[in-house]
Chains A and B, each alone.
Chain A
């Protein structure tokens, strides 16, 4: 039976992991996501479903424990917040290189450095441009509600195993800490070891019973082989763009202006869209749900319709670069964001839209165009 509950985002994610049939969680405490491991420990998932939960000695150990369990095709996840994710990046690169399925959650806080424990979206570049070393991408899901914190866990495992690639749930301190009602799905059964061997025996290291041995590695000392491995990864990422791009269009059909925002910024921007429409300004919102793959085509098409685009983010301007790349200079694109853990208000967003896009943006843009033609 599904169940309606009032929960924190972090708790909903943890409960959803148990219900999704996760086999293991390895983590290390860090604000603002410590509730994930606290909730898991208090729920005794070992007794509920047989799920293993272990507090590691470090973020580095935790991600490498994830690598170990993922090598055996167990459904495994970890969670952390920004400085902790920086520590995990070596392991994440190895997971991508060795083509292992795993779910990683980043409940983002402000940076750089120790930064602040307040919400932020300043890890966008780190999440979608690689972060660790080498040519790789993560499939990145950005929840904008407590409900999505819960729902995306199962989606993330599905994508991780579909592509044998690590999946990142990019949340933030706001979504992680706030309480909302959430519908929790029914308990899914964990796969038995026999089922895992049957399903993933072609690659997982589970002991070589009845088959040739399997090897998990990201190392290829022969350049041609390594290049072939990189090409194989790139093909997966192309397939993600074709088959598993996710976004949401809100009031875009008649929009003269567009806001692009994800996660908590999308929630706040939705209110700004309402305020704008009350004033008679037709604004729409495009919410990327996957940040990689990114909704480039929908943005490119919307750029023919709208006069300008505002990228609203809790950072100093990161996703705005992808918006610009997507619209290929068809319309002016500006960024608005607060940093340091400060959350923008809907009024601030509307004001930024009016100042940066409606009043100045399009005029300045066309002048630049003309002068560049001359």
Chain B
């Protein structure tokens, strides 16, 4: 048997989920968004809930998430995705509703919507990509930008005295009774991808079981915003982001760890 006889669709053991469109991703090479999109869509596919899922896209790098995620999606104003998702989940309680948001969207302009959707325990999933910078607008300081980290609006490094400390959103919202599951993950290695996927799956299962809000932070890189090569960005992330934003579960089954 020749190799080409084996390479046939019916013999494929791994392929792209049909819930990712064929559109070319608008993200920079090495960015974690593509993997996070893919994992979310794989989970929805594997749970067989694609026809009953409604996604809410944010403003930021992932504003065009609806170009890549092959499901029904609505695009929210900057920071307002949790409010948009609240209304969809309340008026269609049998559907699976999730938001996909970046750090500027979720932890700066949308802080109120995030906290109150969490506090009400809306039966939704929030996927929060934290790369410590505003990528879409060209590398400005984010609420999660680390101390001393340079950005176009903190060109001499983030100074805590005048700019405040990087906000740990997941720890903050985990304290709210409405939050059932809060975890922090990463997607830059195979090991992390597997863990992150499991977390996303748990979150959507929580929606199915009407447990309340599941919040998944994914610490990611922004190599173009950080002005690094993709590989250097991942190393920098491990050495600098992870100590401040430690990976792992923060709240499971409604109980703080």
Contacts and interface: CB of A to CB of B under 8 A. Distances in A.
| Chain A partners chain B | yes
Interface of A: 23-24, 26, 52, 54, 56-58, 60-62, 64-69, 71-72, 74, 76, 90-91, 94, 98, 193, 205-210, 213-219
Contacts of A76: 87, 91
B237 interface: no
Interface string B87-114: 1101110010000000000000000110
Contacts of A215: 66, 72-75
Nearest to B90: A52
A58 B115 CA distance: 12
A205 B72 CA distance: 5
B50 interface: yes
B80 A91 contact: yes
A215 to B, nearest CB: 5
B247 interface: no
A219 to B, nearest CB: 6
B77 A74 contact: no
Contacts of B53: 207
A64 B80 contact: yes
B246 to A, nearest CB: 29
Contacts of B63: 219
Given A52-B87, A64-B80, A219-B63, 15 more contacts: A54-B87, A61-B80, A61-B113, A65-B83, A67-B77, A67-B87, A68-B84, A69-B87, A69-B91, A72-B88, A98-B75, A206-B92, A215-B66, A216-B73, A216-B75
Contact of B83 (A61, A98, A206): A61
Interface of B: 50-54, 56-57, 63-64, 66, 70-77, 80, 83-88, 90-92, 95, 112-113, 115-116
Query: Which of B52, B86, B112 has the most C-beta atoms of chain A within 10 angstroms of its own C-beta?
Result: B86
A57 B76 contact: no
Contacts of B112: 57-58, 60-61
Nearest to A218: B75
B71 A213 contact: yes
Query: Which of A61, A91, A214 has the most C-beta atoms of chain B within 10 angstroms of its own C-beta?
Result: A61
Q: Is the interface of B mostly helix, strand, loop or mixed?
A: helix
Contacts of A206: 54, 72, 92, 95
B113 A217 contact: no
Contacts of B75: 98, 215-219
B73 A68 contact: no
B74 A205 contact: yes
A207 B84 contact: no
B80 A207 contact: no
Contacts of B91: 23-24, 52, 69, 72, 74, 76
A215 B87 CA distance: 17
A213 B87 contact: no
Given A56-B83, A65-B83, A213-B72, A90 B77 contact: yes
A68 B77 CA distance: 11
A217 B62 CA distance: 13
B90 A207 contact: no
A137 B63 CA distance: 25
B83 A214 contact: no
Contacts of B80: 60-61, 64, 67, 91
A355 to B, nearest CB: 48
Nearest to A91: B77
B84 A208 contact: no
A144 B234 CA distance: 64
Contacts of A91: 77, 80
24 contacts: A24-B87, A57-B113, A60-B113, A61-B116, A64-B84, A68-B56, A68-B83, A68-B86, A68-B87, A69-B91, A71-B54, A72-B54, A74-B87, A205-B54, A206-B72, A207-B72, A207-B95, A208-B50, A213-B71, A213-B73, A216-B74, A218-B75, A219-B63, A219-B64
Nearest to A24: B91
A208 B54 CA distance: 9
B92 A193 contact: yes
A191 to B, nearest CB: 11
Contacts of A64: 76-77, 80, 83-84, 87, 113
Contacts of B87: 24, 26, 52, 54, 64-69, 74, 76
A183 B88 CA distance: 33
**What are the nearest 7 A-B pairs in CB distance?**
A68-B87, A68-B84, A64-B80, A65-B87, A57-B116, A217-B75, A64-B83
A43 to B, nearest CB: 17
A208 B71 contact: yes
Contacts of B66: 215, 217
B74 A207 contact: no
Contacts of A218: 75
B19 to A, nearest CB: 10
A213 B115 CA distance: 30
A219 B84 CA distance: 16
B113 A69 contact: no
A23 B92 CA distance: 10
B84 A65 contact: yes
B67 to A, nearest CB: 8
Contact of A68 (B50, B70, B72, B74): B74
Contacts of B115: 57
A24 B83 CA distance: 14
A266 B87 CA distance: 37
Query: Which of A54, A64, A208 has the most C-beta atoms of chain B within 10 angstroms of its own C-beta?
Result: A64
